[in-house]
Amino acid sequence: MWLLLVLFLPIVQGSSALVAVSKAVSGPLRGSLTVQCRYEPGWETYSKWWCQGAQWKDCHILVQTDGSEREEKGHHVSIKDNQKSRTFTVTMEELRWNNADTYWCGIERSGTDLGVEVKVTIDPVTVQCHYGPGWETYVKSWCPDADLNSCNILVQTTGSELKKNRLSINQKKHTFSMTIWGE
């Protein structure tokens, strides 16, 4: 007589049943980024989700599949499951600074869902301005308004470099560049 002993081990956050292809991704401001999450056989027909928030158990689900391969769309985000390759793909579009956050790939199941963390960052934006010889000693400034008379100057310099808050100006070879990171 044979005795079969079956053990049920809980699958926890970050287990090998669900893996993010990249644990950190970035995209350009107003651009898009793609995240892929792979899962083991047996999870093909389960609902997959993408959520935002520091803790995966309390995060806000932005988009979710219904267990099929049909693409589901949310506000500037979509999710599509490829059950043959056991990979679901999340695409975030029209990225804004406030999209930089912790997100989670997840699979819905009875009990505790599976979840794996993905950090999303937005790439800094750099603008280059060119000027002719003789302007090296003049003040360089960045103003986000088209009307210079009513403009609120965010950063300016008379030296080679200045950083203030999330802006910097760096001037070399008749060019100064302004970099913005974050809001």
Task: Give the chain's residues under pLDDT 70.
Answer: 1-15, 157-172, 183
Bridge partners of 45?
none
pLDDT at 9: 29
Q: What is the pTM of this model?
A: 0.75
Q: What is the pLDDT of residues 136-154, one digit of tens each?
A: 777 777 777 777 777 777 7
Bridge partners of 52?
60, 103
Share of the chain above pLDDT 90, in %: 55
pLDDT at 171: 64
pLDDT at 183: 61
Q: What is the pLDDT of residues 74-104, one digit of tens each?
A: 999 999 999 999 999 999 999 999 999 999 9
Bridge partners of 81?
88
Phi, psi of 99 (to 5 degrees): -80, -15
| 71 touches 126 (CB < 8 A) | no
Which DSSP string corresponds to 89-151?
EEEE-S--GGG-EEEEEEE--SSSPEEEEEEEEE--EEEEEE--TT-TTS-EEE-SSS-TTS-
Residue matched to tokens 């007589």: 1
Phi, psi of 82 (to 5 degrees): -110, 100
- Domains of the chain with CATH codes: 18-123 (2.60.40.10), 125-180 (2.60.40.10)
pLDDT at 98: 93
Bridge partners of 41?
none
Q: What is the C-alpha separation between 140 and 161, in angstroms, rounded?
A: 10
Q: What is the C-alpha separation between 131 and 135, in angstroms, rounded?
A: 7
Q: What is the C-alpha separation between 170 and 163, in angstroms, rounded?
A: 9
Residue matched to tokens 């689900």: 61
